[in-house]
Structure formats: C-alpha cells, structure tokens
A and B are shown apart, each in its own frame.
Chain A
Amino acid sequence: MTKKISIGFLLLASLALPLLFQNSSYSYVIRIFGLVGLYMIMGLGLNIVVGFLGLLDLGFMAFYAIGAYTMALLSKAGVGFWPALFCSVSLTVAVRALLGAPVLRLRGDYLAIVTLGFGEITRIVLNNWDSVTNGPRGISLITDANIKPVSVFRWTLSTNTDFYYLIFFMLLLCIVMTRRVLNSRMGRAWMAIREDEVAARLTGIELTRMKMIGFVMSAAFAGLAGGIFARWENFVTPESFTFWESVMLVAMVVIGGMGSIPGTLVGVSIVVLVPEILRNVLSPGLMSWRYLLFGVALVAIAVFRPQGIWPSRRRERELNAPLSEMKEVS
C-alpha cells in the first residue's frame, strides 16, 4: 500500500515538475530532468545486458548515437518524427543483432572488449564520414525547411516542457515493458544465465538465442532515446557519444543495483544529478574538484554497498495459490 502511494506521489511530482519551473529562472531544471529521463531509458536497456545477462557492455552509447543520427538524417530528408523514430529503433536493433551474432557465442570478457571497440569505431566513423554525417561539425536540424515538426496527434512538441512529457511517457512505457519481460519465462532465463551459465545451459536454455534477444532488446531502448534526443536537441555531433558516457552508463546501473528497475532509475538520477547539484553548490574555486568528489562517492558506494543502492528483490509468490493471487515485491 505504501508502495502504491509513493509511486503515485512520484508520478504526480514528475508530471507537475515542468509546471512548477516553467516560468521561473530555474527552467533549465526541466531540461536536466528530461536528460535524466533519456538516461533512464538507456539505463533500463543496459540493465538487461549488465544486470540480467551478466555481460559487460562498454560501448552502449554507440547505439544511442546510431538512433540519434538515423533520426537526424531521416528528418533532414523530410521523414516525419514517428516513422523516423521507428527507423531509429529498427536500425539500432539491426546493427546490434549483427554485432551480437559473432560475439555472443564468446565468453563475457570478450564482449566487453568488442563493445568497447564498437563504441569507438562508431564515434570515429561518425566523426570522419563527412559526406553523410558532416563530420565533427555535426548535423543541425534547426534551419532546415524540410524538417517536419514533432507532433503527437495535434499537439506540436517544441519546448523543453513538451519534450519532457514525451520522454516521461516513453520512460513509463519502457518501465512497463521491462517489468513485463523480466517477470516472464524470458526474464527468468536471463537471470539463470547470469547466475550460472553452465547450469542454465544444462537446464534446457538455448544460451545464444536467449542472450541474443536480451542483447538486441537492450539496444532498442538506446535507439529510442537517441531518436528523441536528436529532435529535442536539434543537433547531433559525435562528441555526445564518447567512451566516457558509456562508462558512466555502466556506473549508473551498477550503483543503482544491477538487475533492479528502481535501482537503475535511482542510479541514473544520482549519476546525472549529483554533478549538476555540485555545480550549483560548490564555489567556483572548487568546481574543478567536482568529478573528484563524485569519483570518491562512486568508490565509496562500490566498497560499502556493492549490491547497489536499491538492489533487486525477488518476487514472492503465494505458494499453493493460482497465479492471479501472487504478490509482487520486486
């Protein structure tokens, strides 16, 4: 019951947030929370790979980049927002599948190296493929008359507040989808693989296939976030998709609590918001110490709370009762 109340309260607060700040001098807060939302979507995706499959993915931003560039290029070509978003997700998924096919057969460590390499390759290609990506100058979507507005039914999205709500609803959708998959045969198979790959294999789980589905699904989240980001920012450049960002994403999932949805959301909030807060709190002289402080905090969490801030709790079930009466505590 208290759980329901707190979720309701969080939802209301999230919905009200832009209205509170919209006309104040703090309106940039809306933008920051919008960004938090995008990272949350990506964090949920990465959580599938890191938290459930137990694989280390160090190049997740590459898929955010592919989603963003797909959206930017298609928008310039005059494709509407929704079809372009669909293409962003589809292309991201397709690239991810091509990457996964050879490497998922290998052990986890190799995957970390391959994804790290792929992340860098993606950024370097975007940086150098001038004829398509306009190189380091990036693609601007502001001045082009070709570009169709982002609209939901008759509502045209342009301000930070509009995009905040778009991201908010997409995030809710992603949370629901993740929850559903994790509480299914699929999610249990992923967890089993994480817990003991050998036992999972010999209990009848098709390892490669199950890993592939999770690996690909995770990228869909990144593609979605990337597509929205491109139209919100109206500008994409390779510099947004660095290795550092990929590492921070992994940090968010690990700090929050691997394999836990609320954990991921909390982890993202902390990693994105704490530097922002420090930026405002610290005197200019201390500003350059910001990431040091942050780094120390990360190490402290890793040492004193290795399971994360909000670790996952397993679902409790009413034994002997039909499924409809089962309680959920995860």
Chain B
Amino acid sequence: MILLKTSGLSKTFGGLKALSDIDFSISSGEIASLIGPNGAGKTTFFNLLTGVYKPDAGEIDFCGERIDGRPPYWITKRGLARTFQNIRLFNNMTVLENVMVGRHCRTRSELFTALLRTPGFFREEKEIAESAMERLRFVGLLDDGNELAKNLPYGAQRKLEIARALATEPKLLLLDEPSAGMNHAESLEMAQLIQRISKEGITILLIEHRMSLVMKISQNVHVLDHGFKIAEGTPDHIQNHPKVIEAYLGSTQETPEITIDARG
C-alpha cells in the first residue's frame, strides 16, 4: 500500500529550481533512502513534505489525503514526523520534556484545564510523561531523562530528536542525515535503531550520505541531482546505475564513500 506519493512536485527559490517535477512514492513499512550530492534538493524535499514550504506545483498525497499547502502542525498530526540535518532540540528543556513536547499534537489540555487542575488534566499529564518515557527507553536515553538536552553528547542528541519525533506517533518518519558526524560504531547503532523503529510498523525515509548505511538498511533508494530525480530502485540497482555514478563522480569529484560531517 502506498503511504506517501508526490507527483510533479516542484519548488523554485528565486531563479533557482530547487526541485523539478518530482514523482516519488513510498509504501507502508518500507525503509527508503533519498541520496544525492550536496545541493541536490533533498532537504527541500523534506521541507515540502512537512509543510515548511508550499510547493510551486504538484501534489503530495499522504494516506489518501492531499497535504500540500497544509501547515506543519496539521501534517504532523496526520502522522508525518521528522528530524533535522543540524540537530534542533529544545536545549534548555530536559531530555524528558523534549519528548513530552512531541506528545503535544496527541493531547488536548489547554489553559483552563491546566489552571483548574481537573482530573482529566492529571490523567493526560500522566499519559504524556509515561509515553515520553517509553520513547526514551526505546532509544536508550531513559537514564538521562532529567539532563538538559544541550548537555547530551552528540550521538545521544540525534537519538533524542528521533524519540521526540516518535512521540508524535508518526506513520512516516523522515530522518535527515541521522548518522552525520558519527563514527563507525555509532552509525551501526543508528542503523539498528532505524531497523527497530521500522519493526514497530513505522515507515522510514532517510536522507543519508553514508552509503554503507543506505545500502545496508534501505529497500529502495531514490537519487536526486540538481533538483531532478535521476534514479530509483533497489540498492544494488542504484549502485550500478550510470547516471548515479556520473552524478557523484562525473562532475563534482565527490565520492559516495566519503561521509559528510554535518556538524562542521
């Protein structure tokens, strides 16, 4: 079953065509990767899916519903969550609170229930805290729950971002370079985490420069270059695809085996 589908998706910034006519689809339960040289439009694609930008042309269908042009909170509530290329946490909140914020779109209590401290308020707060702890346990950060997010080591911050995204109960999780800046062991751990998330029934689309990770865990790989989709297929197929090799090696001299450290 197709979970998300875009057709003819385009986005222009000034004179720059960031994305041209992208047809893309991902099926439920799949782990797919989006690769391409720097500036290919991968993050722009994520930004269109999550409602940060409105597309200039084309449609996005998610679970049989048009989501293009909708605000981000609406899209998140429909079940699309993401992480960011440069980690964006709520730094001065605790690790647990970061994940609790992820529960926002699944809970309702506002000003008056909070002021009056109704039984419903306590029930909901309890639910928020418990399900946030569950996500923290899932990514292995429960013991750091009371730390401020900014005090976590880099790898843990990446996991925390994922836990926060998971707390919104996504059907589709978009990961923007989850292993950027990690060493080999950490990236293996990240691969395992992604596979565990997948086992929970969550569909995953990741942007990744680390080809070993991409080829190991994804069922399908989509390749962007200069805003165009140039290839799509299984990892084996993509690795030998002439256009992909050209995009990576032909003009820019970048090799896919080099991982780009997004921290710098």
When C-beta atoms are compared, the residue in chain B nearest to A213 turns out to be: B111
Residue contact A203 to B101, C-beta cutoff 8 Å: yes
A interface residues, tally (CB under 8 Å): 34
Residue contact A181 to B90, C-beta cutoff 8 Å: no
Give Cα distance in the complex from A95 to B84, angstroms. Answer: 38
- Whether A180 sits at the interface, judged by CB under 8 Å, is yes
Q: Which of A184, A191, A314 contacts B125 (CB 8 A)?
A: A184
Residue contact A203 to B92, C-beta cutoff 8 Å: no
Interface residues of B in 65-104 (CB under 8 A from A): 71-73, 76-77, 81-82, 84, 88-94, 96-97, 100-104
Main secondary structure of the interface of A (DSSP, over half): helix
- Whether A188 sits at the interface, judged by CB under 8 Å, is yes
- Whether B109 sits at the interface, judged by CB under 8 Å, is yes
Give Cα distance in the complex from A186 to B91, angstroms. Answer: 18
When C-beta atoms are compared, the residue in chain B nearest to A329 turns out to be: B146
Residue contact A185 to B107, C-beta cutoff 8 Å: yes
The range of chain B's interface size is 35 or more
- Whether A130 sits at the interface, judged by CB under 8 Å, is no
Residue contact B109 to A205, C-beta cutoff 8 Å: no
Q: Which residues of B contact A217 (CB under 8 A)?
A: 111
Residue contact A319 to B101, C-beta cutoff 8 Å: no
When C-beta atoms are compared, the residue in chain A nearest to B113 turns out to be: A184
- Whether A305 sits at the interface, judged by CB under 8 Å, is no
Q: Which residues of A contact B76 (CB under 8 A)?
A: 202-204
Main secondary structure of the interface of B (DSSP, over half): helix
When C-beta atoms are compared, the residue in chain A nearest to B126 turns out to be: A323
Stretch at the interface among B1-9, B15-23, B114-122: B114-122
Residue contact A203 to B164, C-beta cutoff 8 Å: yes
- Whether B10 sits at the interface, judged by CB under 8 Å, is no
Residue contact B77 to A204, C-beta cutoff 8 Å: yes
- Whether B246 sits at the interface, judged by CB under 8 Å, is no
Closest-CB distance, B159 to chain A (whole angstroms): 15
Residue contact A186 to B111, C-beta cutoff 8 Å: yes
Give Cα distance in the complex from A186 to B110, angstroms. Answer: 6
Give Cα distance in the complex from A187 to B130, angstroms. Answer: 18
Closest-CB distance, B102 to chain A (whole angstroms): 6
Q: Which residues of B contact A202 (CB under 8 A)?
A: 50, 52, 72, 76, 81-82, 84
When C-beta atoms are compared, the residue in chain B nearest to A205 turns out to be: B104
Closest-CB distance, A81 to chain B (whole angstroms): 23
Binary CB contact string for chain B from 159 to 195 against chain A (1 if under 8 A, 0 otherwise) = 0000011001000000000000000000000000000
When C-beta atoms are compared, the residue in chain B nearest to A208 turns out to be: B71
Q: Which residues of A contact B89 (CB under 8 A)?
A: 195-196, 199
Give Cα distance in the complex from A140 to B198, angstroms. Answer: 71
Give Cα distance in the complex from A186 to B113, angstroms. Answer: 10
Give Cα distance in the complex from A187 to B97, angstroms. Answer: 11
Residue contact B73 to A204, C-beta cutoff 8 Å: yes
Binary CB contact string for chain A from 212 to 256 against chain B (1 if under 8 A, 0 otherwise) = 010001000000000000000000000000000000000000000
Q: Which residues of A contact B94 (CB under 8 A)?
A: 314-317
Q: Which residues of B contact A323 (CB under 8 A)?
A: 122, 125-126, 129
- Whether B124 sits at the interface, judged by CB under 8 Å, is yes
- Whether A320 sits at the interface, judged by CB under 8 Å, is yes
Give Cα distance in the complex from A140 to B144, angstroms. Answer: 59
The CB with the most chain B CB atoms within 10 A, among A195, A198, A203, A206, is that of A203
Give Cα distance in the complex from A213 to B142, angstroms. Answer: 32
When C-beta atoms are compared, the residue in chain A nearest to B142 turns out to be: A319
Interface set of A (CB-CB < 8 Å, partner B): 177, 180-181, 184-189, 191-192, 195-196, 198-207, 213, 217, 314-317, 319-320, 322-323, 326
Not counting A188-B104, A191-B97, a sample of 7 additional A-B residue pairs whose C-beta atoms are within 8 angstroms of each other reads: A181-B111, A189-B104, A203-B165, A204-B77, A206-B71, A213-B110, A319-B143
